[in-house]
Amino acid sequence: MSFNPTSSRKHYHLFEEEQIDHMYFDISPAGEIDANKYSLYNFTGDPKLEYAEWESRMDMMNSWFSDMKANERFLYERESINGSKVVSKIIDPVTKEIREMLNFASNDYLNLTQDPRILEKVTAIAPYYGAGAGGVPLLSGSMNIIKQLQEKIAEMKGMEEAIVYSSGYGANIGTISGLLGHRDVAIYDMFAHASLIDGSKGSNKKFFSHNDSASLEKVLKNIQNKYINKLVVVDGVYSMDGDICKLPEILDIAHYYGAWVLVDEAHATGVIGRTGKGTLEYFGLEGKVDIITGTLSKAVGSVGGYVAASSRLINYLKYTSRSYMFSTSPFIGSVVSSYEALNLISKQEAGMDKLWENIRYVKDRLLKAGFNIGNAETAIFPIIIGDDNKVKEMTYRLHQQNIFVNPVPYPAVPRKLTRVRMTITAGFSIEQLDYALNQIEKIGKELEII
């Protein structure tokens, strides 16, 4: 083995010495792995890591985090002491002081996590049922109030039946893995959410170019007759780009080639469609897709997930979807709050108009300032930068100005498309938006992003 570590490099022992080199990292003045030179991929996705023992893998990652912390650039896990509010009180990770920050990092698009009409119902009903469900849905965790929520979701989504899970992640992984086996294939939009992709670990998977029906057709043509069942999987609204799925054409092509279609409505429910019912309502395609999944954690303002489909499919999933079958029913507080939130959304009393006023305002100003916001058309705005260090720096400088946004570095998105992700909620006043947008513009110029 020939390796020759210099004083400015750190190396880590990898198990199979004969097969590959040691891993080297440049170190910073703080003596840790130089955070500016690496991305999360180097510690979570690099194939070389498979040859490292656990201790080495952990030490590499922790050394990288330590360098970020030493430079005050570690902005994950910023703790709120008052929940997800428009102005959230955040413990500064470095100084430990409480900062009152404008929250552009929440998916609580309609600010329903804090809605007094909902909280009143939760405090009245949840104590009656108690702090936990006490069992899985098929055994002792079945409850009338959960059934009511399921009926509400099915009605809203124009499907015969629905079941709820404790999370959207669980709903997606459980639906796809419950349906597809090793002779079946899931065909994903390449920007589909991780929870959908993770569902096909026990089946085959293919990808098509983002929102590109010609690319989907090519994939479907190539795999004709190769698999027993085919499922095309898309998000209604894409979580990192905020654009809407081109569902009409995707649906036509998928059905033409005999594939079923699953739409994840996580970021669409309560945001698009005339009455907030989501992507199907937006396109007038109610009842046309085969499976709808979603989460209760974004505009619905609570926690939990669901799948809605035909009764025979839902009945099948109850016994094949392992994250449903083997997981305790959700907390009743979240069941009540989700029910009330869906009620408010469908009665159009949840503030969707104000949300759209804010979305239009922000979009107009970001475009006028010259930012690249991709094809953003909903409450999610990517400020595309394509340079991880500038993404980190912009997030940090905005933090210093009490503006909470999230960095999205590689490998969460392709390197050329790394970004700051900003979400808009209904509760912002125009003055608050102006303050944030002025800062974003100023910092954008300083960092030569615009």
Q: Provide, rounded to whole angstroms, the least separation between the CB of residue 171 and ligand PMP.
A: 8
Radius of gyration of the chain measured on its C-alpha atoms: 23
Which is the catalytic residue, given 157, 267, 277, 392?
A: 267
Q: Provide, rounded to whole angstroms, the least separation between the CB of residue 138 and ligand PMP.
A: 21
Q: Provide, rounded to whole angstroms, the least separation between the CB of residue 439 and ligand PMP.
A: 26
Strands 87-91 and 79-80: antiparallel
User: Which tokens hold the place of 251?
Assistant: 């649906």
Distance CA 207, CA 215 (A): 9
Among 10, 22, 193, 230, binds ligand PMP (CB under 6 A): 193
SS3 331: coil
Q: Provide, rounded to whole angstroms, the least separation between the CB of residue 445 and ligand PMP.
A: 31
Q: Provide, rounded to whole angstroms, the least separation between the CB of residue 422 and ligand PMP.
A: 15
Q: Which is nearer to ligand PMP, 279 or 418 (CB)?
A: 279
Neighbouring C-beta atoms of residue 358, cutoff 10 Å: 22
Q: Which is nearer to ligand PMP, 63 or 103 (CB)?
A: 103
239 is catalytic: yes
Give the x/- contact pattern for ligand PMP in 335-374, rule: CB under 6 A: ----------------------------------------
Instruction: Give CA angle at 171 (247, 254), nearest 5°.
Output: 25
Among 42, 106, 172, 338, binds ligand PMP (CB under 6 A): 172
Q: Which is nearer to ligand PMP, 165 or 410 (CB)?
A: 165
Q: Are 196 and 185 in contact (CB under 8 A)?
A: no
Q: Provide, rounded to whole angstroms, the least separation between the CB of residue 235 and ligand PMP.
A: 5
Neighbouring C-beta atoms of residue 408, cutoff 10 Å: 21
Distance CA 424, CA 432 (A): 11
Contact between 168 and ligand PMP by CB under 6 A: the answer reads yes
Which is the catalytic residue, given 157, 205, 277, 298?
A: 298
Strands 9-12 and 98-103: unpaired
Which residues ranging from 240 to 269 are in contact with ligand PMP (CB under 6 A)? 264, 266-267
Residue 37's Cβ-count burial label (10 Å; 0-12, 13-18, 19+) is middle
Size, binding site for ligand PMP by CB under 6 A = 14
Q: Are 314 and 163 in contact (CB under 8 A)?
A: yes
Neighbouring C-beta atoms of residue 353, cutoff 10 Å: 10
Stretch that binds ligand PMP, among 23-31, 165-173, 375-383, 424-432 (CB under 6 A): 165-173
- The sign of the CA dihedral 176, 181, 187, 188 is positive
SS3 126: helix
Instruction: Name the residue whose CB lies closest to ligand PMP.
Output: 168
User: Which tokens hold the place of 207?
Assistant: 């990808």
* Order of all β-strands in the sheet with 185-189: 161-165, 305-309, 291-295, 260-264, 230-235, 185-189, 204-208
Stretch that binds ligand PMP, among 64-72, 81-89, 167-175, 182-190 (CB under 6 A): 167-175
Which residues ranging from 275 to 334 are in contact with ligand PMP (CB under 6 A)? 295, 297, 305
Stretch that binds ligand PMP, among 16-24, 164-172, 245-253, 409-417 (CB under 6 A): 164-172
Q: Provide, rounded to whole angstroms, the least separation between the CB of residue 188 and ligand PMP.
A: 12
Q: Which is nearer to ligand PMP, 323 or 418 (CB)?
A: 323
Nearest 5°: phi and psi at 89? -90, 115
Which is the catalytic residue, given 239, 297, 323, 334?
A: 239
267 is catalytic: yes
How far the first Cα of the chain sits from its last, in Å, is: 48
User: Which tokens hold the place of 328?
Assistant: 């305790």
SS3 content of the chain, % helix, strand, coil (to 5): 40, 15, 40
Stretch that binds ligand PMP, among 162-170, 272-280, 425-433, 438-446 (CB under 6 A): 162-170
Among 34, 67, 235, 241, binds ligand PMP (CB under 6 A): 235
Catalytically annotated residues: 239, 267, 298
Contact residues for ligand PMP (CB under 6 A)?
167-169, 172, 193, 195, 235, 239, 264, 266-267, 295, 297, 305
